[in-house]
A and B are shown apart, each in its own frame.
Chain A
Amino acid sequence: MASIIAVKKLDKHFKVRKFHRGRFSGFQNFFTREHHLVRAVDGVNFEIQSGELIGYLGPNGAGKSTTLKMLTGLLVPTGGEINVDGFVPSKQRKEYVSRIGAVFGQRSTLWWDLPVFESFELLRHIYKIPEKLFKKNLDEFRELLELDTFINTPVRSLSLGQRMRADICAALLHDPKILFLDEPTIGLDVVAKERIRQFIQHINQDRGTTVILTTHDLSDVEKLCNRILIIDEGKLLYDGQLEQLRQKFGGKRQLVVDFFENYPEATIEGAEIVEINGARITFEFERDSIAASDLIGRLSSKYRIRDLEVKEPEIEETIRRIYEQQLLK
């Protein structure tokens, strides 16, 4: 199957002006124009198939938003190629943007002083959405996103969570094939995040909309995406499944055992004790060196076990280690 998004050797370099500091700095800044180059996106390649739901991850300043801005046609790449559904996003802008939806989490696309519903009405004209389709979509989204309580409220008076839901709805009214979301859950509480996640999943599964989302919240990715891309300092570091990343870089697994009695010296080959809490002992072991079942076998032959649990390392922890120790480089 041909891919719906193809990105080849994509670069975006920003010239950023250097400002002097200290004495006479105002003077110096006025008379000199020194620049340095920020390689916000640097030689990135990937392909995405129609219907995928992709998580785009990376630490602050990694180049995620810049990539999304190029994919949506807001920025013209410094180098490389982008092809989305047969379009070069920065060319043929009008035709292209009517086929995609985009939400940049920090900003609203809606009219500040207009009630939500009237913003939607305006979008209906802008995208020339047929009346029937508009009604069908709006009815569906109203229910799923629970927009009814604030659909007649001006956008400026909405809470962050409400505004985000209204914005996501607005981005989908014209049935886009591809949806770009830059930090759609930023600043939201757990319930609001969950509602938005479920909605994204629904859109992806039910309508087959291709979704790319960036986030700093790994539970978004864990729940939604089977494929992730990791970018840092403009370079793509990883492209694959979350599970594989976990297996490769996940570090140690933990075995938490509740014994019937206190065994302060319950040592076992292949695992280390990291915590003793009464009759509960936590062991750590390497994924590659021993299987959990072997470990449990060895333990139960020596001690009486009441209950046990194998814990995978937290994905947050894994990703943090990857960023910090630069494991992917």
Chain B
Amino acid sequence: MQNSIKLLNKYISVNLRSQLQYRLTFVFEVFGTILLTLTEFAALALVLLKFENIGGWTVGEVAFLYGTINASFGIMDMFFSGFDPRNFGRHVRMGTFDQLLLRPINITLQVLGLEFQFRRIGRIMIGVGILIYSVQTTSILWTGEKAIVLFFAIIGQIAYFGGLFIFGATITFWTIESIEVVNILTYGGSDLIAYPMNIYPELLRKFFTFILPAIFLNYYPALFILGRPDPFNFPPYAHWLSPFAGMLILFFSLRFWRFGITKYQSTGT
């Protein structure tokens, strides 16, 4: 295990160096994501300011949801890029995955090390920035408990979306056509939980509660931290459930991934 961590470190530093070799691209991409996330949020804020609230939430409160998920999705994307179905599908087709299987190290670790994306730092920074803005405008009363809930929420979000990446990557062993369905769950899901869940139709909300439990990732922790009442009458510990929801998805995705490897067909030549 210790050796694995050391190796992962090495892989990551190799990646960093390769990425820095194309320094200009790197800089452009970091600024690109910063600009993109900022524009998105600015557009949202403009709409919100006009309506004053969304589902009863002020701009500052929505910014809490928005900032948190952007920061944790950015962190997830940085670590799990190797599993991003679009990247991973390419590696399968190009045969890079074959080469990984020939090395005597844990395969999951190698895929993690394959594409460590430092350029996601832009999205993380913006996410944190928006979160800070939210904390200032809503004047949250911080307690130790709230800080821990936020930390757990982020852990859960990383695990959840990392799990979806792994699930999508595994599907590319069979088909690259159905990948878009998983991408909708991943990107659509992360967009969805950037807003208060009470604005959605019941069916959609139930899907993201009972099938894919994304409601616990961001919404419940935010309700608790912002001190808002729960409109759905969930048990009072619901804001602690984010890591469990995340680990559940990650766990099943990893099982599926292990199974997928045994069905892996490689490529013709």
Contacts and interface: CB of A to CB of B under 8 A. Distances in A.
Interface of A: 14, 65, 69, 72-76, 90, 93-95, 97-98, 102, 104, 106-109, 111-114, 118, 122, 125-128
B102 A102 contact: yes
B21 A97 contact: no
B98 A69 contact: yes
**Most A CB atoms within 10 A — which of B6, B10, B266?**
B266
Interface residues of B, number: 26
A104 B267 CA distance: 12
Nearest to A174: B104
Nearest to B101: A74
Interface string B245-269: 0000000000000000011111001
Contact of B14 (A65, A102, A111): A111
Interface string B38-68: 0000000000000000000000000000000
B137 interface: no
A122 B14 contact: yes
Given A73-B101, A102-B102, A114-B17, 19 more contacts: A14-B265, A69-B266, A76-B263, A93-B104, A93-B107, A95-B104, A104-B95, A104-B98, A107-B95, A107-B99, A111-B18, A113-B17, A114-B14, A125-B10, A126-B7, A126-B103, A126-B105, A127-B104, A128-B3
B106 interface: yes
B262 A109 contact: no
A176 B10 CA distance: 23
Contacts of B95: 104, 106-107
Contacts of B104: 93-95, 97-98, 126-127
A75 B7 contact: no
A97 B266 contact: no
Chain A interface helix/strand/loop/mixed: loop
B99 A75 contact: no
A74 B3 contact: no
Contact of B269 (A65, A97, A128): A65
B237 to A, nearest CB: 40
A44 B10 CA distance: 41
Interface in B21-46: 21
A97 B102 contact: yes
Contact of B101 (A93, A95, A98, A127): A93
Nearest to B106: A94
Contacts of A108: 99
Contacts of A75: 264-266
Nearest to B265: A14
Contact of B102 (A65, A74, A76, A95): A74
B269 A106 contact: yes
B173 to A, nearest CB: 12
Interface in B135-176: none
Given A93-B101, A122-B10, A126-B7, A74 B21 contact: no
Contacts of B7: 125-126
Contacts of A76: 262-264
Q: Nearest 10 pairs between A and B by C-beta? A: A113-B18, A98-B104, A94-B104, A109-B99, A97-B104, A107-B95, A74-B101, A74-B98, A97-B102, A75-B266
A75 B261 CA distance: 9
Contacts of B94: 107
